[in-house]
Amino acid sequence: MKKSDDLQKKWTPYLYVLPAFFLILLLIVYPVVTSLSLSLKNKVTSHFTLDNYHYFFTDQVQLGNIGYTLFVAVMTVILALLLGFMLALYIRFNNNSLSKTVVALTVLPQFIPGLVAVYSIMLVVRNGGVLSRIAQSLGFTFNPNLMYSANGLIMVNLWFNIPFAALLLLASLANVRQASIESARDIGADKWTVLFKIILPATYKQFFIAGAFVFMTNVGSFTTPFLMGGNNPQMLGVVLYKEFNQYLDYNKAAALSVILFLLCSLSAIVYVIVNLRQEKWR
């Protein structure tokens, strides 16, 4: 009786983990392994080759696409963190009806389907769209030129990601004790000192975590760049779609998937390192 109890204790956790484990095995590990093996094969002969990778790292157009993707993703991360942090600070240290409305608005983008959001934004910012028409009715010509450009892509990405970053940073700001700030003020610390000596040290970890998530979701994004992006350079999500669906070059598509996977892993590594680091100061 005792023994079977022990056995139960030992195996129950595994049973709980099993469904999730099989899902991961089936939907993540298996595709990654097949992509990897497919990416190392020649399209015609199926022999081992590195040509598929060689293509993406030597072709001028593809190098441009990789650089463009990184540019858009990194700019999105930087701006989303900066603006998201400002938003979080405002919400954390103001408690009035306006700040409550801001909180409600912050959550809103998470409930709007991406496709609907992108089309709505396009309607407003496209040349000849709502903004242009308002300008025209006021008697001057104005074209935002946000369609088919990196600026437009980054703007839409920010629309999606600022609220997300703000919510994550807000969670860490909740850890900053009001008492710490008040006592710092009592001994004569100004606003900037409070920010750099108390608030930032308590939240910097969350910056990396939020940044990692924002980077990951944007580096492989498809909907926004497909609908709003130009013809060249293009973001890798769209390139991947073309290789797979239009050119039917599955080997190159697999190689690009692996490259995207590695790019995402970079931010995953940041995430893991930050999480493992010991809290030093508290």
Partner 1 sequence: MKFWKKATAAAAGVLLLAGLAGCSSSSASSKKASSSSVKQTTVTLWAGGSQNVKDGMSKIVSAFNASPEGKKYHLNLEFILSGTSAASLQDRLVAAKKAGQKKTNYDLILASDSDYAAYTQLGGKSIFEKYDKSQISNLKNDKATISAGKGYLVPYRGTTVVLAYDSAKVKNPPKTAKELYAWIKANPGKFAYNTPESGGAGAAFVQTAVYNYLPKAALTSSDTKWANQWNKGLSLLKSLNSSMYKSGGKVVYPNKNQGTMDLLANGQVEMIPAWQDMTTMALTAGTLPKTVKMTQISPAFTGNLDSLVIPSIGSNKKGAEAVMNFMLSKKAQNILVDTMAAIPVIDQKEITSDNLKYIKGLNAKDFRFSSTGNLATQLIQKWDSEIGNGVK
Which residues of the shown chain bind partner 1 in the complex (CB under 8 A)?
8, 11-12, 15-16, 18-19, 22-23, 26, 61, 126-129, 143, 145, 147-149, 226-227, 229-232, 242, 246-248
Measuring CA to CA, how many Å separate 135 from each of 122, 128, 228?
Answer: 16, 10, 22
Q: Give whichever of 12 and 193 is closer to partner 1, judged by the CB atom.
A: 12
Q: Please state the closest distance from residue 128 (CB atom) to partner 1, in A.
A: 3
Q: Give whichever of 27 and 273 is closer to partner 1, judged by the CB atom.
A: 27
Q: Please state the closest distance from residue 216 (CB atom) to partner 1, in A.
A: 23
Q: Give whichever of 139 and 188 is closer to partner 1, judged by the CB atom.
A: 139
SS3 percent helix, strand, coil of the chain, rounded to 5, is: 80, 0, 20
Q: DSSP class of residue 278?
A: P
Q: Please state the closest distance from residue 108 (CB atom) to partner 1, in A.
A: 26
Q: Give whichever of 114 and 129 is closer to partner 1, judged by the CB atom.
A: 129
Phi, psi of 48 (to 5 degrees): -65, 135
Q: Give whichever of 114 and 230 is closer to partner 1, judged by the CB atom.
A: 230
DSSP string over 18-59: HHHHHHHIIIIIHHHHHHHHHHTB-TTT--B-SHHHHHHHH-
Q: Please state the closest distance from residue 144 (CB atom) to partner 1, in A.
A: 9
Packing angle of the helix pair 250-276, 200-219 (nearest 10 deg): 170
Packing angle of the helix pair 150-173, 60-93 (nearest 10 deg): 40
